[in-house]
Structure 1
Amino acid sequence: MRNTDPESGNLTAPSSFAASWPPVVQPGYPAHRRIVEAFGTEVLLENGNIDRKVLGDLIFNQPDRRHLLNTITHPEIRKEMMKETFKYFLRGYRYVILDIPLLFETKKLLKYMKHTVVVYCDRDTQLARLMRRNHLNREDAEARIKAQLPLKDKARMAHHVLDNSGEWSVTKRQVILLHAELERSLEYLPLRLGVLTGLAGIAGLLYLLARYLLPSP
């Protein structure tokens, strides 16, 4: 649902909606093993987790290696997304937030999104925040920003834009208003009714098969 650019300072916005996403690149996940095989043990921290800064430095100026990382992580992330989305769907939630870094770049998941949200800030603010957060010089920070579509282009493609250029209190109010809008929406009803009808049909079919196949007492 939501496209994310960490350098726009928008990590606070999704946290106002929901908890963090499943850690598909942590030890024990298939993607973790494949990342180590592809990039070596130098991308690991002492505790075995992926050192995101080291890995980021390796890929941002090398499109081929960035593509390799995406081919490793994206399928695993999509599986986790679908699993978690279905879980919350069954629990009755009206909407689920998917925090997708390259949503507009890859376009592979856009067709599944009912709403898309971009958290936006001007480029100077974006650059300053990235340099401060990741302790990068200007050249490295600009290289990371150029690796993705410009935020202004993403903002034009999104259904909703949250302006995070100023004070957090202003951004928070936008988040609250968007949440209220999505909570009022009934767009989820046709899909939910369709799924429930399908499940009821399957349950009825299984019952009839059981009656037919099992001997009567």
Structure 2
Amino acid sequence: MTAQDTLRLTSEQYEAWHADRSYDYDSQFASSGRSVVQMIGEWLDKMMTTIVGNETYWEYRTWIWCTVAVVLLVAIAVSLWYKHPKLFQRDSKTPELEYDVVEDNIYGVDFDSRLYEATHAGNFSEAVRLRYLQTLRWLSDMKLIDWQPFKTPSQYSAEYPDRNFRSLTIVFQKVRYGGFVADRQVFEDADRLYLLVVERDGTNDDGSRDDKEQRKGETE
């Protein structure tokens, strides 16, 4: 004796159950079909209607959001200006190159040995730097400049207005701060200018002396 199927499903009953949404359990997990942007937009609309009122919001919706955007942009600009004011500054003159007073010291340096090492290693940018500093040391010893660790190359050029020294200063600034990579020829030019400055022994282009003591005596 076999068991009989006591539950019989007719096609009419199947169609009826299929059409009944009460049995559509998958719909509880199905998405609404709205994108994240749409849901955020609806949330913002709902928030703004609670602030300004439903009728006012929908009547001036575009203007309201334009105002909000302008306020946000102004707030961002003010914040940037407060935290980074240099972003909004425009200098009419090129700022003077920053002078490294820690590395560019003229005392306690064995220039001859350092220059030998730099040139034999092919580091001509370092050789140019050392030759310029050696020039400053010589000018300082001759009392042609008043060397101070905080002074800039431009200040020394103003103190000792010699065309050869000025040319050497330009070469030094290009190599030291302008990102110019010196080769042997550039160093030889700097070396030649150094010798021209030293060989003048503190005389001006017209042959007159130009040292601190003489200028001081003339003013007294």
TM-score range, shorter chain: under 0.3
CA radius of gyration, larger in: 2
- TM-score normalised by structure 1 residue count: 0.25
- TM-score normalised by structure 2 residue count: 0.25
- Larger relative contact order (CA 8 Å, sep ≥ 6): 1
More strand per residue: 1 or 2? 1
